Chain A
Amino acid sequence: MLSVEGLTIAADGVELVHDVSFAIAPGERVGLIGESGSGKSLTALSLMGLLPEGVTASGTARLRDRDLVGVPESRMKDLRGSELAMVFQEPMTALNPLMRVSTQVAEVMTLHGVPRDKARARAAELLGPVRLPRPEQVARAYPHQLSGGQRQRVMLAIALANGPGLLICDEPTTALDVTVQKQMLDLIAEVAPALLFITHDLAVVASVCERVLVMYGGRVVESGPIREVFTRPRHRYTEGLLAASRLTPRGTRLPTIAGSVPAAGTFPGGCEFRNRCPHADTTCEQPPALTGEGHAHACWHPADRG
C-alpha cells in the first residue's frame, strides 16, 4: 500500500528527518512513536504534501503506484482527501468555525468530483458510521455547538468520505477526555483502511496498532511488531521509553531517560541517542544502520543481547 524509501526532510539546510524507510500493507495499522521533535509529525505531513513553507522533503514515498514526495502541488492536491487522508491533533480548531458541519463534510466530496447535491445528501449519512448520535442534527450544527470528541468524529468522517487507501492520524486523541479517547481509538482501528498512527503515548499505540516504528532525532531507531518491540526492546531509547512508562513499586524512583531532547540540528553525530545513552561508547560515534528482518533496530549495543 504505502512504501517510504530514504525519506529526508530539511529546513534551511538542517536535516530534521534522516533517511526514513518503512512500508504499510493494505489493512495494516502502524504506529509511529517518539517524543516531540523526533520528526514524526513532519514525516506524516511530508506524505500529505503539507510541509510548512521552507521545509522540503526528498527520497521516495509511493502510495499504491503514486508518488507522494517531490510531486507538484497540483498533483498532490488531487490525492489529498481522496487517496490519503489525515486527522489532526486539535479537534477544537481543525474545523472552520463559520461553516456548518454538513458543508464541511460535503466539501471534501465536491473537491474530488462528486456533484454538489449528491455530496450534500451523503454528508449526513457519513456521520452515522463514525458513531455520531443524531447525524442530521450534527450536520446542521456549527463546530462550536459540538464537543471535542464530536468534532474529531466529524474530522474522521471527512477523512473517510472518499474511501482513501491510507489514513494518517496525528495524535488524534491527545486533546480528548480519557473516556472519549478509548471510544475514538476503537473507532479508528475499526474503520481505517490502512493506518499510520502518530502518537507519543505507548499505551495508545499498543491498543490500536499491530506494528510500531520508534523515532528518535529524526531517525527510525527501532521497528517491529508491537508485542516484540514492547516486550523485548532492542534500541536503548525504546528501552528507556518503556521503562519510564511502566508502573513502579511504591517508594522507588520513576525511571527516566537522562538529559532532554536536543534542539533540531544539535543532535550528536553517529548514533543520535549517544549523549543520553548509558551504554554509549566510542563505537557509537559511527551511525548504526537499521538492521534486522521483522524486528529491526539501529543500535550498536542492543538491549536483548545482554
Chain B
Amino acid sequence: MILYLLKRLGVFVASTAVAGVLVFAFMAVLPGDPAEVALGVNATPEAVAALRAEFGTDRPAVTQFADWFGGLVTGDFGTSYVTSAPIGPQIAERLNVTVALVLGGMVIALLIAVPAGTFAAVHHRNPVGAAISAASQVGIAVPAFLAGILLVFVFAVKAQALPSGGYVPIADDPAEWLRSLLLPWLSLGLVQGAVLTRYVRSAVLDVMRDDYLRTARAKGRGRMGALWRHGLRNASVPVVTVLGLQLATLLIGAVVVERVFVIPGLGDLLLNGVAGRDLLLVQGVVMVLVAAVLLINFLVDVAYAALDPRLRGAR
C-alpha cells in the first residue's frame, strides 16, 4: 500500500517537473522579447539591454529555468514584466475562485449522476430508465456555456432570483458568495452530470450482472440491498476514472464559464495575461493548470488504492 502510494507520488513529482520544463521551453521559443515588447519599437539597444538585465532574461536559459522553477516550489512565480506586480498572489487568489467553481460543479454533477445513473440501471427495462438515458444524451449535447446562458435567461433575467454574473468573495459575504456561484455551478454541473450519468449507469449495469451480487441475495439481501452494500463500491472504480478525466476537463472548461459569468478565476487571469502579452503570468497560470491536472491523476490513483485491495498489493 505504502509502496504503491510512494510510486504514484514519485510519478506525480517527476511528471510535474517534466511539465515545468515543457512549459518553460514552450514559452522560451515563442518569438518576442519581453524587454523589447515593454519598451516599444523606438527604444535604444542600451535601454533594452538594461531592461533585459533587470528582468534577468539575458542570462542562460538553464539559469532562468532553475530560477523560475525553484521559485515555484516556494510559491514565488516571479514578477510580471508588464505590471511589475508579483504573480504568485494573483494566481493564489484566482485559484481559490476556480477551485470553488470546479468542485461545486463536480458536486452537483455527482448529486445528479449517482442517483440518476443508478436508477436508470436498476430500471433499465422500463420507460423511466430509458427516459433518464435519453435526457442524459441531450445533456451531453449541450455545451456548458450554452447551459450557462440558458440558466442566466431563466433565473437571472426572467425570475430575477439570482445574479447574472459577478463574484463576491466568501470572506465578504458568504450568502452572496453562494448566490453568485449557484448559476455557474449549475451550468458546469448539469452538463458534466449528464455525461457522468451515462458512466454511472453502465458501471452499475455491469455490476448488477456480477456473481457476488447474487451471492449477497442468496445471503438474504434484497435486490436493492445487495446493490447498495456490494454493488456501488465496485461500480465506483470505473466511475472514479471518468471523474478524474472530467475534473481535468472542468478545470479547463471553467475558462469559458468564467467568461460567461464574469468570474475572476484562473481562466480569466490566463486570458488577460495572453491579451496583455504578460509572458511570465501566462507561464505561471499554465503551469498551475498542468500541475492541477497531474495532481488530479495522482488523487485518482490514490482513490483506486483506497477502493480496491487488488490494486494495493495487500498481503
Contact = CB atoms under 8 A, between A and B. Distances in A.
Q: Are the chains A and B members of one assembly?
A: yes
A93 B220 contact: no
Interface in A133-189: 142, 144-145, 155, 158-159
Interface in B208-227: 210-212, 214-223
Contacts of B158: none
Nearest to B212: A96
B220 A112 contact: yes
Contact of B218 (A78, A85, A112, A142): A85
Given A53-B125, A142-B309, A96 B234 contact: yes
A95 interface: yes
Nearest to A93: B211
A80 B226 CA distance: 13
Contact of A94 (B212, B223, B307): B212
Contacts of A111: 219-221
Interface residues of A, number: 33
Contact of B220 (A80, A90, A99, A145): A80
Name the interface size band of chain B. 20 to 34
Given A73-B223, A144-B310, A97 B218 contact: no
Interface in B293-315: 307-310, 314-315
A108 B219 contact: yes
A50 B125 contact: no
A262 to B, nearest CB: 26
Contact of A144 (B210, B215, B222, B309): B309
Nearest to B211: A93
B259 interface: no
Nearest to B124: A53
A82 interface: yes
A50 B214 contact: yes
A27 B215 CA distance: 24
A95 B212 contact: yes
A48 interface: yes
A74 interface: yes
Contact of A88 (B125, B215, B222): B215
A96 B230 contact: yes
Contacts of B218: 48, 50, 80-81, 85-86, 88, 159
A77 B233 CA distance: 22
A239 interface: no
Contact of B310 (A79, A81, A97): A97
Contacts of B223: 73
A142 B219 contact: no
B212 A81 contact: no
A296 to B, nearest CB: 30
B217 A99 contact: no
B125 A97 contact: no
A142 B222 contact: no
Given A48-B218, A50-B214, A94-B214, 18 more contacts: A77-B217, A77-B220, A77-B221, A77-B222, A78-B220, A79-B220, A80-B220, A85-B218, A95-B215, A96-B215, A96-B230, A97-B309, A98-B233, A98-B307, A98-B308, A98-B309, A112-B220, A145-B315
Interface of A: 48, 50, 53-54, 73-74, 77-82, 85-86, 88, 90, 93-99, 107-108, 111-112, 142, 144-145, 155, 158-159
25 contacts: A48-B218, A50-B214, A50-B217, A53-B125, A77-B217, A77-B222, A80-B217, A80-B218, A81-B219, A81-B220, A82-B220, A88-B211, A94-B211, A94-B214, A96-B216, A97-B212, A98-B233, A98-B234, A98-B308, A99-B230, A107-B219, A142-B314, A144-B310, A145-B315, A159-B218
* A-B pairs, 4 with minimum CB distance: A81-B220, A93-B211, A81-B219, A108-B219
